[in-house]
Structure formats: C-alpha cells, structure tokens
Amino acid sequence: MATMTNTTTYRKGPAPGKIISTILRYALLIVLAALFLIPFYLIVRNGLASEKEITSPNWTFFPSTLHFENIQELFNDHEVPFLDGMINSAMIAVLQTVGQILICALAGYGLARIPYRWANLVFYAILATLMIPSAVIFVPTYVIVSYLGWVSTLQGLVVPGLFSGFTTFLFRQFFLNFPHELEEAGRVDGLGYWGVFWRVVVPNSYGIISALSVITFINSWNAFLWPLVVGQDSSAWTVQVVLSNFLNAQVLNLHELFIGAALGILPLLIVFFILQRYIVEGYRQSGLKG
C-alpha cells in the first residue's frame, strides 16, 4: 500500500527588525521632504498674504484671504520692472546654456580625441582654473567688460559665462569613454573629426548634454552678483536683481518680494522636473566616481 505524505510549506514574513528599519527609513524621508518643502510653502503663503498678515505676530497656516491681486500688483509696479527681469534672465540663461554647452563640448572632445602636442598642458591649465576662487577674477573680468563698453548690455552679462572649466572637464571625461567603434564607423564613411562629432558623437551624447544643460541653466538663472554689478541700468536687471530691490534701506515690500520669488523659481521647477533624471545619468556617464 502506497502512502502519501502531505507536506505544507510556510512562507516566512519579513523579520520584525526589517519592518522597523523600513518604517524608520520612510519616516525619515517624510520628515526630510517636509523640511525641504517648508521654504516653498512660506514663499507661496506670504506671496498670497497682505503686508499686515506677513508681519503679524499671530501666525496662521494660510492667510484669511488669498490675495491673488498681488500678482497683478507685481507686474504693474513701474519702479521695479519684474517682467523685464524675467525676460532678461530667460535670455541670459538660454544664451549661456547653449553657448557654454557648445564651446565646452567642442573643447572636451578635442582634449579627449584629437591628438596634439600640448593637449595635456591645455587640460591641466583648464583644471587649474577650477582652483581659482571666483572672487579673484571678478574685478579683472569687470575691468575687461567695462573697457569693451559692455556694462548694462546683454553681451556683458552673457559672454563671461560662455566657458566653464568644470563643464569642459565633465565633457572630456565622458568622451574618453565614448566607444571608438562608432567613431571609426564614421571615418569609414569619409567623415573627419568635425563630421564625426556632429553626426556620431552628439546624437549619442544627449544624456550628458541634457544634464549639463540643466545645471548650467539653473546656475545662470540664479546668478546675482555679476548681473548686479554689470547690469547697472534697470533695463538690464535680471529677476534676482529685481527681487533684491523689494527689500533695501528705502523699500520694504514683502508681499511683492514673496510672490516675485514664487514666480521666479517657477521656470527652474519646470526645467528641473522635466529633465531631473538626466542630471544623475549625466554624472554617471561622465565617469566620475563618488
């Protein structure tokens, strides 16, 4: 007689220690996310409040009345041209991003792929520029811009930021790891360095290009000291300089300052959320280890 034995297997659940660890991890992430969002909440809350509610000692989570007319008041303020500042910041950020990516990509590819006698010397010279504090070259750069007559002009605000040693370094690191086989295939088709760069390398480098474009755009949009010194005329003010004029020794306009700050960071949030995944991908492709 054959006997049948029923065996029952029990699936073990996660260990209690692992559950506690997961709960603590998510709790920590929630706390950090809340701390990260507090400044954005304060900007929006105060931007839609009246001047009295912003300075009132009796704090409320939201104003009793949302003053959306603060937005219209901001754009109608003739003493502080906020709309012109937004336009100037957009033009400067776009031009600097396009120009810097183009120049630094060409420089990085030349350093990584085109053999010539002084390649290493040029590369070390570029690295040396990363060790020089920006405050050291600020005055000489301003003297040159002033000598050229570029004060309060678009070229004076854009041209000094068209090259970056750090961006060139990242492009060089990426192109050093670029597959040689793709470039050789282009040369078989009769392409030179210029043709290979535009037809083979660039179409396969959208990750690093997008990542560095986002970083460059954000840095250019947030620049304050250089636009403040060079943009001496109000027609050349950027959004950061405009916002600083709502809070000085003569003026204390908090509600316009906060609503202007909220509108000023809106383009950055849009760009960041659309292209955020390229930032990590770009650093990974650049070959940096951290």
Query: Using one digit for the tens of pLDDT, what is the confidence trace for 234-272?
Result: 889 999 999 988 877 566 788 889 999 999 999 988 888
The pLDDT of residue 270 is 87
86 and 50 both lie in a single domain: no
- 8 domain-assigned: no
Domain encompassing residue 82: 72-285
99 and 233 both lie in a single domain: yes
Which whole-number Å values give the CA distances from 13 to 16, 19, 72, in the listed order? 9, 10, 58
- 229 domain-assigned: yes
39 and 82 both lie in a single domain: no
Q: Could you say which of 69, 84, 108 is where a domain stops?
A: 69
Q: Could you say which of 69, 100, 131 is where a domain stops?
A: 69
- 10 domain-assigned: no
23 and 146 both lie in a single domain: no
178 and 212 both lie in a single domain: yes
The pLDDT of residue 249 is 55
Q: Could you say which of 9, 34, 69 is where a domain stops?
A: 69
The pLDDT of residue 135 is 86
108 and 237 both lie in a single domain: yes
- Pairwise CA distance, residues 250 & 271, whole Å: 35
136 and 251 both lie in a single domain: yes
**Alpha-carbon dihedral sign for residues 35, 40, 41, 45:** positive
- 2 domain-assigned: no
Domain count for the chain: 2
159 and 40 both lie in a single domain: no
53 and 190 both lie in a single domain: no
- 11 domain-assigned: no
- 290 domain-assigned: no
93: Cβ–Cβ under 8 A, 6 or more apart, which residues? 217, 220, 221
The pLDDT of residue 290 is 40
- 48 domain-assigned: yes
* DSSP tag of 131: T
Ramachandran sector of residue 60 (left: φ over 0; alpha: ψ -120 to 50; beta: rest) = beta
63 and 207 both lie in a single domain: no
63 and 76 both lie in a single domain: no
60 and 85 both lie in a single domain: no
- Pairwise CA distance, residues 49 & 224, whole Å: 26
Lookup: tokens for 163: 């090259």
- Pairwise CA distance, residues 124 & 144, whole Å: 25
Flag residues of the chain having pLDDT under 50.
1-2, 287-290
- 232 domain-assigned: yes
The pLDDT of residue 241 is 93
The pLDDT of residue 103 is 96
* Terminal Cα distance for the chain, rounded: 68
